[in-house]
Amino acid sequence: MKRIVILGGGYGGIAAAKKLAKIFKKNNDIEITIVDKNTYHTLMTELHEVAGSRVDPDSVMVSYERIFANTKVKVITDFITGIDFEKKALVSEKAAYPYDYLILGTGGAPEFFDIQGIQENSFSLWSLEDAIRIRQHIEERFRLAAKEPDPEQKKQMLTFVVAGAGFTGIELAGELMERRDVLCARYHIDPRDVRIIVVEAMDRVLPIIEEPLRKKAEKYMRKHGIEIMLKSPIVAAEENLVILQSGESIKTETFVWTCGIHGSEFTSRIPLEKGHTARGECSIASEEGIHGMSGCRFEEDETYIVGKRGRILVNNLMQTADYHDIYAVGDNLWFVEEGKVLPQIVETALQTGECAAENIAADIQSKDKKGFKSNYHGFMVSIGGRYCVSNAGGIKLSGFFAMAMKHMVNLHYLFGLAGINACWAYLKHEFFHMEDKRTLIGGHLSYRMQGFWAVPLRMWLGLMWLVEGVNKIGEGWLNFSAGTKSGWMFSKGVTQAGVKAAADAATAATGAAGDYAADAATAATGAADAAAETVTAATGAAADYASDAVSAATGAVADTAAEAVSAATGAVSAAADSAHEAFGLVWDTAKTIIPYDSGFVTWFREIFMDSMAAYIPYQLFQVMVVGVEVLIGLALIGGLFTFPAAGVSIIMCFVFIFSGMFSWSQLWFIFAAIVMLGGAGRSFGLDHYVLPFLGRKWRSMSLVQRYHLYGGEPVNTKKKR
């Protein structure tokens, strides 16, 4: 049994685990384990959205249960304190985890460059805990400022300083810009009293992107009230004060440091050769790792000083310099490729994770290993929820289309991470449940209608479908002795299966019945002749007398009625002519949407309907049509399985449209069914009770979990390991 242990569930660790699980899917002699202090994978590239309250914290949390349910990857939640290299085991306070191969994916941590007072007096944005602290702190500043009588103190509360004009700093500033407008309206604060300042030591923002896109980003930020201070290195920080090299200082209660990252705190505890080390050896760490200490509430015994930390040196196979059975991936490695150090970005983590996994697999399978070769596809930087600049695959975009591209790339990654499950969760957070219209299309997709408003429409739509089905029963669709009633749905000359057999049976029955009826008719005719002679005599006398009376009365009445009818007819005719002139040319809703004899309907019948005629007996076909209509009606009335019932309703309507037998006045069936797709059965319907039960059963199925064909979290029916 070969044991592959991955420390850290970041982008690199997840990529390695998924690649190994795929390679060794059917190999029971390989054990793959991820050890992480959290129970979830954090979408680090979206932390600014949490900090700026665009999305909730759970939007950037993807549980390992969702990612690895019913796979061979085992997940252990524990805090690792070190590595026993002799025994080849990860060590925590309570356990040891032996390995044959180890992948280190412990990520990075903020680099404070040993500048006085920076870590103690700043926030950082390198973990979910960081983002939540910033989020809560910003809300609190506005709440307190709203009731602060001292103008100087209020100004200090409403000044927000972001150090660093790289990706993280610019994205955070963009989120603060949008959040400013929301909080100003909520707490009745003049937006002009709020300052958002980006401080950058270099002479430009976003230094690694092309100048045209950089200029667009800077122009957009300045236009929306973000102050940008270039060539302004920060030399120190104190409580509520940021000091610049020029001697200028900024009073603020919110100072966020985003000026770089380095190796994680864990690297200071393992004697592996570093390719590069962080400046200074006095960073403060807590159980969360290294981070800005502003806004933290740790006791003195809960923090400690970190020693020499850095990025672990690896070769082109991602093996560490000291041990070739230990690999490093992501932000905590140091590798120089063609004279350039690998950047600490997501694509590096993903590609190094896969490279390490493939080389471990090659070593186990006694195959040749492959050296690392980077393949970067570009970048994307959002400035709030409505604007972005991007260069993806050489396609340079800004504004709406760049933001759309960013969402597409995120969805691509999430689909590989946890399939439809993760993609659907992302769409809900970014569009369907978004507040304050902070998306690239505003709030058009996020407005939600209460389900009970759709209940009357649901029941009426169901009743109409039920009536349609019952009417067909009355028309003889289930009376097969009357022959087919659905022939109009097929081409002329096409004989439905079962029609000929039914016709032959009917002919035989008619012949037998005819012989019997002929004999009876002959006997009855003789009696009828005698009766006819008697009736003729009586009728002659009565008819002569009645004729004279009726003729007289009819003459008088007919003349009067004719005059009245003529007048009424003239009035109605005039009104009809007027209505026809007014509306007849606009829209005749009684007409079919697609004429029955049109080319499209003919094509549809020949391609789709006629093929069914040969294989499905008309009796079964008619039972299916009637049954579906009745079931749709009952399902909608009861609010049971409303979504599939509405979906089938829409399909049925289109079949009738394409068959040339659906009028404009019936089109409301489709629009009403679309409304039903939004969960109308959960209000005053059986779906309220049935769907949660079925959902739990569905999410517990191994096949469903393996392919992520569910929403929310999987149901674990197995005992905990």
Backbone angles phi, psi at 667, to 5 degrees: -65, -20
Mean pLDDT of 472-484: 88
Tokens of 556: 């008088």
Mean pLDDT of 412-425: 97
Residue 309 and residue 270 in contact, taking contact as beta carbons nearer than 8 Å: no
* Cα–Cα distance, 309 to 269 (Å, whole number): 8
Mean pLDDT of 204-227: 96
Q: What kind and span of H or E run contains 77?
A: strand 73-77
Mean pLDDT of 199-203: 97
333-334 vs 310-313, strand pairing mode:
parallel
Q: What kind and span of H or E run contains 417?
A: helix 400-427
* Cα–Cα distance, 215 to 387 (Å, whole number): 14
Mean pLDDT of 646-661: 94
- Report residue 448's pLDDT band, with 50, 70 and 90 as the boundaries: confident
HSE toward the beta carbon, residue 313, CA cutoff 13 A: 10
In one letter, which amino acid is 28? N
Total residues found in the chain within this entry: 721
Could you give the C-alpha distances from 489 to 115, 240, 465, 595, 628, in angstroms and in order?
A: 81, 78, 19, 13, 16
Could you give the C-alpha distances from 529 to 12, 526, 541, 542, in angstroms and in order?
A: 105, 5, 19, 20
Q: If you ran DSSP here, which 8-state letter would residue 605 be given?
A: I
Give strand ranges (E) for 2-56: 2-7, 30-36, 40-42
Mean pLDDT of 528-533: 46
Residue 387 and residue 399 in contact, taking contact as beta carbons nearer than 8 Å: yes
> What's the pLDDT score for residue 567?
57
Tokens of 169: 């700093």
Judge whether residue 519 has pLDDT over 60.
no
Q: Give the N- to C-terminal CA distance of the chain in Å, as an integer.
A: 18
* Cα–Cα distance, 34 to 20 (Å, whole number): 12
Mean pLDDT of 139-162: 98
* Cα–Cα distance, 474 to 469 (Å, whole number): 9
> What's the pLDDT score for residue 526?
52
Lowest average pLDDT, out of 121-135, 517-531, 583-597, goes to: 517-531
195-199 vs 159-163, strand pairing mode:
parallel
Residue 443: partners with Cβ closer than 8 Å, 6 or more residues away = 434, 436, 437
Lowest average pLDDT, out of 71-75, 148-152, 563-567, goes to: 563-567
* Cα–Cα distance, 312 to 320 (Å, whole number): 7
- Report residue 407's pLDDT band, with 50, 70 and 90 as the boundaries: very high
Give strand ranges (E) for 291-359: 304-306, 310-313, 326-328, 333-334, 336-337, 340-341
Residue 707: partners with Cβ closer than 8 Å, 6 or more residues away = 419
Could you give the C-alpha distances from 331 to 28, 283, 432, 662, in angstroms and in order?
A: 31, 18, 33, 61
Please give the order of strands across the beta sheet that includes 289-290.
289-290, 283-286, 304-306
- Report residue 549's pLDDT band, with 50, 70 and 90 as the boundaries: very low
Judge whether residue 573 has pLDDT over 80.
no
Q: Work out the percent of the chain whose per-residue pLDDT is above 70.
A: 87
> In terms of DSSP H, where are the helices of 290-399?
346-364
* Cα–Cα distance, 475 to 463 (Å, whole number): 18
Lowest average pLDDT, out of 106-110, 520-524, 564-568, 710-714, goes to: 520-524
> What's the pLDDT score for residue 529?
54
Judge whether residue 521 has pLDDT over 50.
no
Q: Work out the percent of the chain whose per-residue pLDDT is above 90.
A: 74
* Cα–Cα distance, 598 to 680 (Å, whole number): 37
> What's the pLDDT score for residue 682?
93
Judge whether residue 570 has pLDDT over 90.
no
Q: If you ran DSSP here, which 8-state letter would residue 273 be given?
A: P
* Cα–Cα distance, 372 to 376 (Å, whole number): 13
Give strand ranges (E) for 501-607: none
Residue 269: partners with Cβ closer than 8 Å, 6 or more residues away = 81, 82, 307
Specify the pTM: 0.84
> What's the pLDDT score for residue 362?
98
Judge whether residue 342 has pLDDT over 90.
yes
Lowest average pLDDT, out of 23-27, 90-94, 199-203, 443-447, goes to: 443-447
HSE toward the beta carbon, residue 454, CA cutoff 13 A: 24
Could you give the C-alpha distances from 518 to 527, 529, 530, 715, in angstroms and in order?
A: 15, 17, 19, 75
Q: Using CB atoms within 10 Å of the CB of residue 512, give its burial: 0 to 12 exposed, 13 to 18 middle, 19+ buried.
A: exposed
Judge whether residue 520 has pLDDT over 50.
no
* Cα–Cα distance, 280 to 293 (Å, whole number): 17
HSE toward the beta carbon, residue 611, CA cutoff 13 A: 5
> What's the pLDDT score for residue 484?
84
* Structure confidence by residue, pLDDT tens digits, 20-78: 999 999 999 999 999 999 999 999 999 999 999 999 999 999 999 999 999 999 999 99
Tokens of 134: 């910033």
Mean pLDDT of 670-693: 95
Q: What kind and span of H or E run contains 609?
A: none
> What's the pLDDT score for residue 312?
97
Could you give the C-alpha distances from 181 to 153, 205, 257, 614, 645, in angstroms and in order?
A: 20, 24, 23, 66, 43
Residue 307 and residue 277 in contact, taking contact as beta carbons nearer than 8 Å: no
Residue 633 and residue 610 in contact, taking contact as beta carbons nearer than 8 Å: no
* Cα–Cα distance, 615 to 598 (Å, whole number): 26
Residue 502: partners with Cβ closer than 8 Å, 6 or more residues away = 480, 481, 483, 618, 619
Residue 261 and residue 110 in contact, taking contact as beta carbons nearer than 8 Å: yes
In one letter, which amino acid is 496? Q
Question: Domains, the chain, ranges and CATH?
Answer: 2-37+78-109+285-367 (3.50.50.60), 112-259+377-420+440-446 (3.50.50.100), 452-492+597-706 (no CATH), 513-584 (no CATH)
> What's the pLDDT score for residue 111?
94
Residue 204 and residue 214 in contact, taking contact as beta carbons nearer than 8 Å: yes
> What's the pLDDT score for residue 326?
98
> In terms of DSSP H, where are the helices of 580-641?
599-604, 610-615, 618-638
How many Å separate Cα 306 from the centre of its chain? 41
Q: How many CB atoms lie within 10 A of CB 545?
A: 9
> What's the pLDDT score for residue 304?
80
The mean pLDDT of the chain is 89
